[in-house]
Copies of this chain bind each other. A is one copy, B any other.
Amino acid sequence: MKEKLELLKLLADETRLYILNILLREDSYVEKIACELSLTPATICYHLKKMESAGIVNCSRSQFYMIYSVNREIFDKPLYELIQKDEPVLDTEEKYKKEVLSHFFRYGKLTQLPTQRKKREIVLLEIANQFEQNRTYDEKEVNAIIHQYHEDHCTIRREMIAFGIMAREKETYWRV
Considering only CB atoms, which chain B residue lies closest to A1 in the complex? B17
Name the residue among A21, A26, A79 with the largest chain B CB count within 10 angstroms: A79
Q: Determine whether A35 belongs to the interface, using a CB cutoff of 8 Å to chain B.
A: yes
- A interface residue count range (under 10 / 10 to 19 / 20 to 34 / 35 or more): 35 or more
Q: How far is the CA of A11 from the CA of B74 in the complex (A)?
A: 17
Q: Are A12 and B9 in contact (CB under 8 A)?
A: yes
21 contacting pairs across A/B (C-beta < 8 A): A1-B17, A5-B12, A8-B8, A8-B11, A9-B12, A11-B12, A18-B85, A21-B83, A21-B85, A21-B89, A32-B92, A32-B96, A35-B96, A35-B99, A36-B95, A36-B96, A72-B80, A74-B79, A77-B78, A78-B79, A79-B82
Is A39 an interface position by the 8 A CB rule?
Answer: no
A79: which B residues are within 8 A, CB to CB? 11, 74-79, 82
A113 to chain B, nearest CB (A): 18
Q: From DSSP, what is the main secondary structure of chain A's interface residues?
A: helix
Within 42-81 of A, Cβ neighbours of B (below 8 Å) are at 72, 74-80
Contact with B along A1-34 (1 / 0, CB 8 A): 1000100110110100110111011101000100
Q: Which 8 A-B pairs have the closest CB atoms?
A: A75-B80, A12-B12, A8-B12, A9-B12, A75-B79, A21-B85, A35-B99, A78-B78
A128 to chain B, nearest CB (A): 22
On chain B, the residues within 8 Å of A20 by CB distance are 83
Q: Is A84 an interface residue (CB 8 A)?
A: yes
Task: Across the interface, name the chain B residue whose C-beta is closest to A116.
Answer: B64
